[in-house]
Structures are given as structure tokens and as C-alpha cells.
Structure 1
Amino acid sequence: MLLYACKAEDVDIMKPKVNIFSELQQLQAMVEGLTAQLHTVRSELTEQKSLVQDLQQQITGHPKVAFTASMSSTVNSHRGPFPTETKLIFDNVLTNIGDAYNQATGVFKAPVKGVYYFRYSGNTFASHDMGLSIFKGGSRFVSSYEYGSGETNDNASNGAVMQLEAGEEVHMNLWIRSWIFVDYRYNYSTFTGYLLYPI
């Protein structure tokens, strides 16, 4: 019986039920398919790396622009009233990344074409009116007005998103016959702007 079993095993090994040639063909087809997929993945990965490098260059290549300024004084005082509408000069620079804001003239000059955001806040004595405007070039863009209410202090603020060409200017004006409070340490009245994104 043992001899017969061994002979039967030998027969099974010598005459396998699988077609080795067919199996090899299938394996070769699988390898070719996987190789093609690998080439596709490598190509996509190269494209993704290129896109990431482009985005990194765009981020690092774009200018950083942001400023906040207030008006300086050694004592609590005010600007105004003036007989004509007057440009306000926020000469106490708190932040000026990119140096686009000129503290001597009160003018922001866009270094690149882009979309910018500007905001201001103003504080005034209770008995005085306060009118403020942001100008884009020579045109009034947004404004706020605070009527003398008789309260201790009054405040007003506003903001705007602007599309600017490189070199366009933005500044603030104080309206005719109005006041704005200037304190010596708290920076109640401020002018702020920054680049959202270049275009």
C-alpha cells in the first residue's frame, strides 16, 4: 500500500493539472498591466510636484502688504475743525509690512495690482461732529458720520474692499467743520489696510 501511494504521488507531480504556460502568460499580462499603472502614477506624481512648485513660487513671489497707523500726539488733542475737507495723516505707524504706507503724507500706494481691504476707526469729543471718508485716488469710496450726541465720546468706523492698479493711491479725509480725537497712548483713531491677493 505504501509503495502504491508513493507511485500515485509521483504520477500527480509529474502530470500537474495546471497549464504552466497559460499561468505564465497570465502573470506576464498582470506584470505588464501593473507596469503601465506604475508609469501612469509616476506621470501624475510628476505633474502634482510641478503644480506644488508653481504654487510655492506664487506664494513666495507675492508681496506681503499690511499697515496700521494712528495719529501721534504728546497729549490728548484733536485734528480739526478745518474750513475745507482735509486729508488726515496717520503719522504713528504701528505696522507697515511692505512699506506701502507713507506716514509723512498719509497716503497708501498699491505696490501691485490686486484686491485690498481698508478699514478705519475714529473717535471724537461728544460735542463735535465727525465725518470721515476713504478716498481711492480723488474719489470718495466709503464714509461715516457721527453727529455730536452729547455723550462722553462718539465713535465711527467703516471699511471697504478695493481693486487697485499698481501705483493707485488711497487716503483718508476729515470732513469740513468736523473733529477727530487724537490721544497720546491708546490709538483710538486708526487707519488700516492690507493686500488680500494680487491679480
Structure 2
Amino acid sequence: MRGAVAVLVLLFCLSGTWAQQESGEVRENDTTETTQPDNWAELRALRDMMVEPRVEFHKNTVEELKRENVSQAAELSTMGEGLNARKGKVEELKRENAKLWTRLARVEAKNQDQDAELFKLEARLSSIEQEVDELKRENTDRPKVAFSAALGRPVGPFNTVVTLVYNNVITNIGNAYSPVTGAFTAPVRGVYYIRFTGMDNRISKRVGVSMKKNGKYHIMWAGQKNLADYQYVSNAVILELEERDVINMELDAGFRLYDDHDKHSIFSVFLLFPM
């Protein structure tokens, strides 16, 4: 390109020089016939030789640019379609994501409800455990009193009232019953359940038993006349006893009780609850 420009400049300068020489010669000799070649025609030919290739080059360049532009436009169109497809996919993913967030919110709400219910259950369980521990402590601290004893032999009849001694001890938790004296002594103040059973196997004979508190207070009596073999009498009572109160069973004068290894005549007491 720079070479072509230099040639044009040179030709322009030469054309100017030739024009001056031609103009001078004409003035010196107006009648002399011009014998110089037509320099302007040569310059125009040279100019055309330089310009036409450049025009052709520009045309080719323009065509090439047009083809590149068309190709780029096609690529942009393809990219635009791909972009639109991606946008559609993104929108679909957004919708799916919104659905997932909704489901997650529901699950979290459900979990919160379950956590609240679990908290209530744990609080209730803790309360129950405390109550159980309290009951265990009460049960541990609570005195344990229970006994049962049988006569183990026939007793009576006697001419006077006698205290019955049940010396065949079956159970004696707390050692509140004495198999020597036949007396039950309350170890603590509380409510007690007291029961006895008496039997006689003599026909037409009287059988009966009475209960005394502290040796003088009559609590109850049970008895009857036998009409057949193995006639039983029994009774029970719930008493509020103070600590050291004594309960014993007595056989009235003329009465008889029968017992053997089968334990027909029994005296039993157990503590319901202390007070």
C-alpha cells in the first residue's frame, strides 16, 4: 500500500514538471508544433492501474465481510435459540425449585409440630418419672408391716377368757407380731387391715373369737354354734392405730378353736398406709 502511494506521488510530481515545461515551450514558440507525448494520458493510465486493483480489493473485502457478517448472524441466531432454550430450562428449574421450597416448608412445619408434640411427651415423661421416683422414695421410706399366723393346734375350751397365741407364723414382715405373746404392736401411726378366721369341728358346740385393742377395748366378735363338722367364723376390720397400739385375739370361756397343719384358724394384719 505504501509503495503504491509513493508511485502516485512521484507520478504527480512528474506530471507537474512536464506541465511546466510544456507551458514554457508553448510560450517561447507558439507556432512550433508540439512533439512531446501525451503525458496526461499516461498518468491517467497509471492511475487506473493503481486504483482498479484497490477498488477490486475493497469489493472483495466487502464481500468477505458480508459473508462473515451473515455467518456471525447465523451463529448469533443459533446462540439466541440456545439462550432461549436455556432461559426456558432456567424458568422450569425455578418452578421446580419453588415447589421444592414449598414442600420443604411443609416438612419443616410438620417437624415443628412433631417437635412440639415430642417436647410435650418428654415433659410428661419427665413428670411421670418424677412421680415414679417420688413413689419409690415413699415406698422405700414407708414402713413395711404385714403378718399372718395360724394357731397350729386345737385350743380350748377354758373356764376363763384367754389370749390366743398364733405360734405358727406364716409371714411376719416388720416383726410387729410376737409369736410368744400373740400380740400385734403397731410400729407406726397408720391405717391397718385386720382379719381373723376360726374353725371348730365339734357338732353342737360353740365357736367364737373376739378382738381387743390395748387389752381392754373390744373391737369385734364373731361366733356361732356348730351345726355340722368344720364350722367356720370370720370377720375383718380396718382400724386407725397409733404407734405402739396393741391388737390381740381372745377366746371366750367355754369356746374352742380347732387347727392343724391345714391352718384353719388364722390371724392377719397389714399396714394400708402410714399417717
Q: Give the TM-score band, short-chain normalised.
A: 0.7 to 0.9
1:112 corresponds, among 172, 183, 188, to: 188
Which position in structure 1 is the counterpart of 2:231? Answer: 154
Higher relative contact order, structure no. (Cα contacts within 8 Å, ≥ 6 residues apart): 1
More strand by share: 1
Which position in structure 2 is the counterpart of 1:193? Answer: 269
Give the alignment of 1:60-79 within 5 angstroms.
60-73=140-153, 77-79=154-156
Alpha carbons of structure 1 residues 128 and 113: separation in structure 2 relative to 1, 3 Å? same
Give the alignment of 1:1-199 within 5 angstroms.
2-3=81-82, 4-10=84-90, 37=116, 45-73=125-153, 77-83=154-160, 85-124=161-200, 125-137=202-214, 138-149=216-227, 151-183=228-260, 185-199=261-275
Q: State the Cα distance separating 1:43 from its structure 2 match.
A: 5.4
RMSD: 3.5
Q: Distance in 2 between matches of 1:155 and 1:43?
A: 55
Contact 1:146-1:156 within 8 A present in 2 as well: yes
Using the TM superposition, name which of 100-109 and 1-10 deviates more. 1-10
Q: State the Cα distance separating 1:105 from its structure 2 match.
A: 0.7
Q: State the Cα distance separating 1:142 from its structure 2 match.
A: 2.0
Q: Distance in 2 between matches of 1:15 and 1:86?
A: 99
Q: Distance in 2 between matches of 1:164 and 1:153?
A: 33
How many residues are paired up? 189
Q: Which runs of 4+ in 1 moved over 6 A?
A: 11-18, 38-41
Alpha carbons of structure 1 residues 159 and 17: separation in structure 2 relative to 1, 3 Å? closer
Contact 1:133-1:173 within 8 A present in 2 as well: yes
**Which structure 1 residue ranges, 5 or more long, are not aligned?**
none
The one-letter code matched in structure 2 to 1:142 is M
Q: Distance in 2 between matches of 1:100 and 1:114?
A: 13
Q: Distance in 1 between matches of 2:96 and 2:232?
A: 95
Q: Distance in 2 between matches of 1:121 and 1:132?
A: 8
Q: Distance in 1 between matches of 2:95 and 2:205?
A: 109
**Which structure 2 residue ranges, 5 or more long, are not aligned?**
1-77
Contact 2:156-2:254 within 8 A present in 1 as well: no
More helix by share: 2
Q: Distance in 1 between matches of 2:95 and 2:169?
A: 92
What is the identity percentage for the equivalent residue pairs of Structure 1 and Structure 2?
Answer: 27
Larger gyration radius, structure 1 or structure 2: 2
Contact 2:150-2:168 within 8 A present in 1 as well: yes
Q: State the Cα distance separating 1:188 from its structure 2 match.
A: 1.5
Contact 2:198-2:257 within 8 A present in 1 as well: yes
